[in-house]
Amino acid sequence: LEKAKLKAQKNNDLREQANLCNRLGEVLARRGEFKDAIKEHQQELQLSEALGDVIGRAIANRKIGECLAEIGNYAGALKVANSCYCSCSGQ
């Protein structure tokens, strides 16, 4: 996945980069590497924002929130959820 991500970066393929960040984040979270997973999902979020992808933003935010909850940062998880709701609903 890392090699594919580097290739997507080289080709400036933002959508594929976002997809690969999502997949890498999922793999890292399954391994219990939640802080690294958060970094991947944050990058996914930035790419989704650049693409204007509302669904991608919502997915990235949800996964960031899930990882934050897994490490016991419930306030952070709630903040991400509220931020996502407000930005996705136009509030």
> pLDDT, tens digit, for every residue of 30-61?
999 999 999 999 999 999 999 999 999 999 99
What's the confidence (pLDDT) of residue 89?
60
Choose the CATH number for 2-89 among 3.40.47.10, 3.40.630.30, 1.25.40.10, 3.60.15.10.
1.25.40.10
CA 11, 17, 23 angle in degrees (round to 5)?
Answer: 145
Can you say whether residue 24 is alpha, beta or left, with left for phi > 0 and alpha for psi between -120 and 50 degrees?
alpha
CA–CA separation, 53 vs 83, rounded Å? Answer: 16
CA–CA separation, 26 vs 77, rounded Å? Answer: 17
pTM equals 0.88
Over range 6-31, report the average pLDDT: 97
**In 10 A of CB 79, how many CB atoms?**
13
Q: What percent of the chain has pLDDT over 90?
A: 86
Residue type, 31: R
Over range 7-35, report the average pLDDT: 98
